[in-house]
Amino acid sequence: MDEKGSATDNVYIERFFRTIKYDKIYLERPETGNELYAVCKQFINYYNERRDHSATGDVPPNKVYRKVA
């Protein structure tokens, strides 16, 4: 880790939080905790199983990392 308050410490998770908020939560506007949980679960499944990622050569992460495991 870098020094306290460094912007690069959480860059990957902060980017993911931005993506899930703008691509799913703000569009569907869940009203209860259970709805929010379901929306997040659905998006995380999509994010890992079907969404292409430029960092992995436009291949979903589960296809890239299953080959390694």
Instruction: For 35-57, write each residue's pLDDT tens digit.
Output: 999 999 999 988 888 776 676 67
Tell me what pLDDT residue 3 has. 66
Distance of CA 42 to the CA centre of its chain: 11
Whether 21 is covered by a domain: the verdict is: yes
Q: Is residue 1 part of a domain?
A: no
Nearest-CA neighbor of 48 among 68, 69, 62, 63?
62
50, part of any domain: yes
For the entire predicted model, the pTM comes to: 0.68
Count of domains for the chain: 1
Residue 3 lies in a domain: no
Range of the domain at 56: 11-68
Residue located via tokens 């020094």: 3
Q: What is the pLDDT of residue 68?
A: 60
Q: What is the pLDDT of residue 69?
A: 53
pLDDT on residue 33: 96
Is 25 within the bounds of a domain?
yes
